[in-house]
Amino acid sequence: MHRWDCYHQAVASCVSLTCSFAIWAAVVSAAHGDGATYRITDSSVAGSAQRVSLNMEVTGVLRVMDGGNVQELNLAVDAQHRYTERVLQTRTTRQSLRWYEQAEAKLLIAGESIKPQLRPAQRLVMVEASKDRRLVFGPKDPLTREELDLLDLQANSLLLPLLLPDKAVAIGDDWQPNADLLAQLLGIDAVSNSDVKCVLAEAKEGEQAQVLLAGQVNGAIDGVATEIHMDGTLKFDLSQRWITALQLTVREQRAIGHVGPGLNVTCKLDLKAEPIAVAQLPHELTAPAPTVGEAPKQRLAYIAPGGVFQFGYDRRWNVMHESAELLSLRLVDKGELVAQCNISPLKPVAPEAVQTLEQFKATGFDKMFPTMSKDMLELWFGRTFNREGLDAKTRLLVTIAALTVLGAQAEPQLKLTVRHALEAGATQREIAEVIWQMSMFGGIPAMQKALEIAQSVFAETEEKDA
């Protein structure tokens, strides 16, 4: 499991203790209310600003697959954010520009310490949020996945005002937050069921109101189920009409997914905010906000270790494995595993050996790709993410059958697949029998060609092992 993905899944989903006591306390408090009602509505408009500090602690375990077995890794996260936020718009889609004075985190995963950092040039960040989606992105250059995971935490300050009631309430009154809003606040894709409620516990006109929120959320992220319990207190300044604090405890249990580990974690989050005048804004937030198209908003940057190469990619792709020899990514869209991409560096080629397009031949093309190890094959094609399905060897034998029917046009692909099937544990006889079986579908010539290709791979493997 890629360590940054462990970070994203742990930090982007910190979650909490059950909260029936909080609701009970609010109801008891209501008995002492005088019947007065209060408008707890946020006063932020385009141009208003706030200074935010956020501290977060996470403890628990990550669950990952190791050789077909579930392994639990101890996890601890300590994160601090300090930023100034200027609101750009407060319509259906809220938008803000942030300047981060501090964005730090320290992770301990199975004893290994990781400290993700925000590049100095990326301290200016734009946020778009609504009940349907949230986006954190660089207005000039794309963030890396590590930077996105560092910044895109639960309880996004731009979304918190949407938790407030849209009508006057009395002490003891309760309301239920929108399910889509809860999904965005908790960093998951969808909510299937929620009993989360907010209750006005205390209020004094011109001073402060206190809102309790508590309940359970069942939902999904990246195609797997998650169960979340949350319990928190939100403080609202009735004179400034501004959310000034949020203390939130959340607990989550999540199944192992296509691109992320399983979770059993508890998160404690402490957010404080204060409205500030435009004159107090750092100069980085005083310039007009840049206009960013939809595609750049979705884009992330991958920067290889040492800066050897870099490229941009859609944020639905997730890095699964990263080494000097191989970079592997998976695309998950709306919970479905859609595609996988493997990137390997080419071996150095002498200038005189470089072929023109006219000279290029597919023969030998398979040698440009390294043979993955048996464990790696099981990870991508076997039972690691599909524990009840086919193992890697069977999947590769099925692929050989399909390539045999295609005939000579699939020679490079067939060579590469035969090599990987041998690595996954298939015998030469099993591979030959699969090819013979396909003679009735692809014809005798296709079978003979596939056998010749397979035997050349057998010979290469035996020579290499000798």
Positive or negative, the CA dihedral 376, 378, 382, 383 is negative
DSSP secondary structure letters along 38-91:
E-------TT-EEEEEEEEEEEEEEEEEETTEEEEEEEEEEEEEEEEEEEEEES
Q: Number of H helices and number of E strands within the chain?
A: 11, 20
Q: What type of residue sits at position 252?
A: E
Listed in sequence order, the DSSP H helices in 330-386 are: 374-381
- pLDDT at site 51: 97
Give, for all 466 residues of the chain, the pLDDT tens digit: 444 444 444 444 443 333 444 444 444 444 455 679 999 998 889 999 999 999 999 999 999 888 778 999 999 999 999 999 999 999 889 999 999 999 999 999 998 999 999 999 999 999 999 888 899 999 999 999 999 999 999 999 999 999 999 999 999 999 999 999 999 999 999 999 999 999 999 999 889 999 999 999 999 998 899 999 999 999 999 999 999 999 999 999 999 988 889 999 999 999 999 999 989 999 999 999 989 999 999 999 999 888 888 999 999 999 988 888 889 999 988 888 889 899 888 777 787 777 665 665 655 555 555 566 666 666 656 555 555 678 888 989 999 999 999 876 788 889 989 999 998 899 999 999 999 999 888 888 889 899 999 999 998 888 776 6
- pLDDT at site 369: 57
- pLDDT at site 22: 46
- pLDDT at site 377: 62
Q: How far apart are CA 147 and CA 119, in angstroms?
A: 8
Q: How far apart are CA 49 and CA 88, in angstroms?
A: 9
Nearest to 397 by CA among 384, 383, 412, 381: 381
Nearest to 161 by CA among 321, 320, 43, 2: 43
Q: Which CATH class is domain 347-465?
A: mainly alpha
CATH topology for 3-297 is: Lipovitellin-phosvitin complex; beta-sheet shell regions (2.30.230)
- pLDDT at site 10: 45
What value does the CA radius of gyration of the chain take, rounded to a whole number of Å? Answer: 27
- pLDDT at site 360: 57
The domain ranges of the chain are 3-297, 347-465
